[in-house]
Structure 1
Amino acid sequence: MTTPVIELRDVSRAYDDGPPALHDASLTVRTGEAVAILGPSGSGKSTLLNLIAGLDRPDAGTVTVDGVRVDGLGEAASARFRRAKIGIVFQFFNLLDDLTVADNVVLPAQLAGMERKKAHRRAAELLETLGIDRHARAYPGRLSGGERQRVAVARALMNRPPLLLADEPTGALDTASGEDVSELFTELNADGQTLVVVTHDLALARSCTTRTIQLVDGRITEDVRPEAVR
């Protein structure tokens, strides 16, 4: 049996005096899985992603990622852990417009203390693999949305994280670019990358994931293969 990359046990999280954003959630994601987290706005998808990434802490329960209890880490230790173990792809790319594509990709390695030449070799490999090496010296603002998302994926993979999280990765893209990103995620997962995608896009979930988690009002209501929701 493959090793769990994510283990949530009886996790709850509430904000202020409102109802729980996440209620008594338990979830295991194993190495090599590609999981889509689906649900309407306010269902708890972003809360779940933030807890897995160590960007938030639960009120109850435990969150373990790659064998580490991330809910017990301090702020500095959590940042170091994310840098080494988790790649995150955002809806609006979060690239630095005053840095070139190559420098954006190299940045996580620099923060992690990787030797400069090694970091630039790794960045060059990623850009070539993702088909955007010709844009290495360009600035993000000159690229299409799909190309910028590929840069964001390269940056997220820079430190070879065991887990890749994607938060609405096609939400800011046109249909063609969205399909391009979907194909990219499919290829990454085929190469063994563990992937968790938060999305409203059922087509994305069907095309590039092997499992679908449905959230409603902070509760996991379904845990199925994509074929079952067609």
Structure 2
Amino acid sequence: MTVPVIELREVSRRYDDGPPALHKASLTVRPGEAVAILGPSGSGKSTLLNLIAGLDRPDTGNVTVDGVRVDQLGEAGSALYRRSKIGMVFQFFNLLDDLTVADNVALPARLAGTARAEADRRAAELLENLGIGRHARAFPGRLSGGERQRVAVARALMNRPPLLLADEPTGALDTAAGQDVSRLLTDLNAEGQTIVVVTHDLALARSCTNRTVRIADGRIIEDVRSGAVAPEAVR
């Protein structure tokens, strides 16, 4: 049996005096899985994502990602964890407009201490593999939404993370660009990349993931696998 990429055990998080944003959530994600986290606004999806990303800490329970107890990390440890263990893709890209596409992609490696020549080589390789190598010297503002999201995916993959987190990755895109990003995520998963997608979009979940986890009122209420699952992902 393979070691899980993500393991949450009885995780709860409450803000102020309101109801729990997440209540005793347990979730295991194994290598090679592509998982969609679905739920309405306020259901706890973003809280779950932030806990996995080390951007927040649970009040109770354990969060382990690729063997790292994320809930026990301090600020410096959390930053190092995010650089080495996860890649993040956001709805609005979060690219730096004053850097070229290539420099945006290379930035995580440079922050991790990789030599510039090696970081540039890796960035060029990713951009070519994702079909946007011709835009390497352009600035993000000159690209379409779909192209900018491909740049964001390339940046997220820069340090070869075991886990790719995507937060509403098609939310700011038109239908055609959204379908393009969905195919990209499908292709990455077919190559073995473990992916967790947080989305409201059921069509996106169905097209690029093989497992759906539904959250409502801070609780995981459904966890269903569909279609073919990579052998290493089977419990």
After TM superposition, the score normalised by the length of structure 2 is: 0.96
Q: Any conservation in 2 of the 1:127–1:151 contact (CA below 8 Å)?
A: yes
Matched AA of 2:218? G
Q: Distance in 2 between matches of 1:52 and 1:134?
A: 34
Q: Distance in 2 between matches of 1:225 and 1:26?
A: 16
Matched AA of 2:182? S
Name 1:151's counterpart in structure 2. Answer: 151
Name 1:178's counterpart in structure 2. Answer: 178
Deviations 1:157-186, CA, capped at 9 Å, x for gaps: 000000000000000000000000000000
Q: Distance in 2 between matches of 1:80 and 1:2?
A: 24
- Equivalent runs, 1:1-230 vs 2, <5 Å: 1-226=1-226
How much has 1:89 moved relative to structure 2? 0.2
Deviations 1:96-153, CA, capped at 9 Å, x for gaps: 0000000000000000001111111100000000000000000000100000000000
Matched AA of 2:116? R
Q: Secondary structure at the match of 1:4?
A: coil
How much has 1:226 moved relative to structure 2? 4.3
Q: Distance in 2 between matches of 1:3 and 1:44?
A: 26
Give ranges in structure 1 of 5+ residues lacking alignment. Answer: none
Give ranges in structure 2 of 5+ residues lacking alignment. Answer: 228-235
Q: Distance in 1 between matches of 2:105 and 2:213?
A: 30
Q: Distance in 1 between matches of 2:201 and 2:111?
A: 33
Q: Distance in 1 between matches of 2:23 and 2:134?
A: 46
Aligned CA RMSD, in angstroms, stands at 0.7
After TM superposition, the score normalised by the length of structure 1 is: 0.98
Matched AA of 1:179? Q
Q: Distance in 2 between matches of 1:33 and 1:115?
A: 32
Name 2:233's counterpart in structure 1. Answer: none
4+ aligned runs moved over 2 Å, structure 1: none
Q: Distance in 1 between matches of 2:221 and 2:202?
A: 16
How much has 1:29 moved relative to structure 2? 0.2
Q: Distance in 2 between matches of 1:208 and 1:116?
A: 34
How much has 1:12 moved relative to structure 2? 0.1
Q: Distance in 1 between matches of 2:226 and 2:104?
A: 34
Q: Any conservation in 2 of the 1:43–1:216 contact (CA below 8 Å)?
A: yes
Q: Distance in 1 between matches of 2:135 and 2:164?
A: 23
Q: Secondary structure at the match of 1:17?
A: coil
Q: Distance in 1 between matches of 2:24 and 2:133?
A: 44
Q: Distance in 2 between matches of 1:63 and 1:174?
A: 35
Q: Distance in 1 between matches of 2:3 and 2:166?
A: 21
* Aligned-pair identity (%): 83
